[in-house]
Amino acid sequence: MKRTLLFFLLISTLTGSASAMASDDVQINITGTIVASPCKVDPTNPTTIALGDDIQAADLASNGARSAMVEFHIKLIDCPAGTTGVTATFHGASESSMPDWLYANGGTAKNVAVLLQASSVYGMGDGKTMYIPITDGGVDYPLYTQAYSLGAATPGTISAAITMSFVYN
């Protein structure tokens, strides 16, 4: 009887040890993110674009009249090899009559706004984006701006602050 009891005790101990050693499976999740590295903003980019100091109020007397177009370029340089393109998003206080094209004038002239476009057909108003693929290690954003009359523009200053933010692909 002692042998039978000892045998059952030994079997119970081994069975209990085996079940104590068994456990639930563990799932390991490994994650990461591959990102495109940023380019550098060309330090020679213009930060102030002059529309002119002699825009005649008479030339902006009617709604939709415009001053001379001013072309300028914003360039990004030293783009890493893994970066293939850059999307710029434009931000600023929009003019409610044409928010896709116009920014509100913060200067003293009345009934005038600032028009920003990427070409003759693409307005770059607040929230608009522009994608340019990288060529020769850089990106060149050709932009155009001019004063835009909202009707009977008055003499005074013209000023608009526009920010470009970049997403690298």
Q: Is 142 helix (H, G, I), strand (E, B) or coil?
A: strand
| Confidence grade of residue 9 (pLDDT, cut at 50, 70, 90) | very low
In this prediction, residue 7 carries a pLDDT of 43
pLDDT of 71 reads 95
- pLDDT of 36: 73
Question: What are the structural domains of the chain?
Answer: 40-168 (2.60.40.1090)
Q: What is the pTM of this model?
A: 0.77
pLDDT tens for 85-144 read 999 999 999 999 999 999 999 999 999 999 999 987 789 999 999 999 999 999 999 999
pLDDT at 91: 97
E strand spans, 10-79? 40-41, 70-77
- Percentage of the chain surpassing pLDDT 70? 86
The separation between CA 125 and the C-alpha centre of its own chain, rounded to angstroms, equals: 13
What does the DSSP assignment read for 84-95? -EEEEEEES-B-
Q: Give first-to-last CA distance, the chain, whole Å.
A: 79
CB count, 10 Å around CB of 26?
5
123 forms beta bridges with 117
For residue 10, give the H/E element and its range: helix 2-21
